[in-house]
Copies of this chain bind each other. A is one copy, B any other.
Amino acid sequence: MQSYTEENYLKTIYHLAEKTVNVQTNAIAEQMQTKPASVTDMIKKLAEKGLIDYVKYQGVTLTETGKNTAIDIVRKHRLWEVFLVDKLNFKWDEVHDVAEELEHIKSVELIERLDEFLGFPKADPHGDPIPDKNGRFAKTQFIKLIELKVGDAGTITGVSQHSSAFLKHLEKLGLTLGKQIQVSDVTDFDGSVEIQLSDKQINISREVAKHILISSNGKN
């Protein structure tokens, strides 16, 4: 059994491990809004519990057990997000903080029933895949919008930034999940991208394009 804090560390390490192989102390500290010294303390504890492998000064990796625990928390987080959006009419930019709390509720029964109640959703409101109760989920093949060439088309199926500001911005631009897009131009000057939607053409900054994930269906 892990504490609330331990669970958050595991989740953070899990997410950081998606980007780098060995997860570093400072990276964890930044993500968790705490100090490196505190991270070192917790790291030792998690290593003793067999949840991570840790070699001094070399960063950490999750053990099988640690990874399973982390995935379970991610599963809960994403299911709760679906609940909040589908059932309680929250917007996709309003759910993160609440789900951050709800993900720590410990009943297995609760989550299985919630999953069923929601119709066993495969993705959360931001397009992130929801692991099933055995921790399995499809490794989705996303391409960042920024990587598309002029003429490429696809469907918006995810975002790699969950901040409220970013999501609200997308909403305003009409760039929500499921929307079909095609790249009509890329500006030399600032790298901004012109995209064609079904009903209009808009221009988005490079920064925005970096965080929109596309499942491609055009030439590539």
Contacts and interface: CB of A to CB of B under 8 A. Distances in A.
B117 A88 contact: yes
Please tell me how many copies of the chain the complex holds.
Answer: 2
Interface in A65-114: 84, 87-90, 94, 97-98, 101-102, 105-107, 109-110, 113-114
Chain A interface category by residue count: 10 to 19
Main secondary structure of the interface of A (DSSP, over half): helix
B107 A98 contact: yes
A109 B94 CA distance: 10
B105 A101 contact: yes
Contact of A110 (B98, B105, B106, B109): B98
A98 to B, nearest CB: 5
A105 B114 contact: no
A55 to B, nearest CB: 35
Given A97-B107, A107-B97, A114 B102 contact: no
A105 B105 CA distance: 9
Contacts of A105: 98, 101-102
A63 to B, nearest CB: 27
A115 to B, nearest CB: 10
A84 to B, nearest CB: 8
Closest 9 A/B residue pairs (Cβ): A88-B113, A98-B107, A101-B105, A98-B110, A88-B117, A87-B117, A102-B105, A88-B114, A89-B113
6 contacts: A84-B110, A88-B114, A90-B109, A98-B105, A101-B106, A101-B107
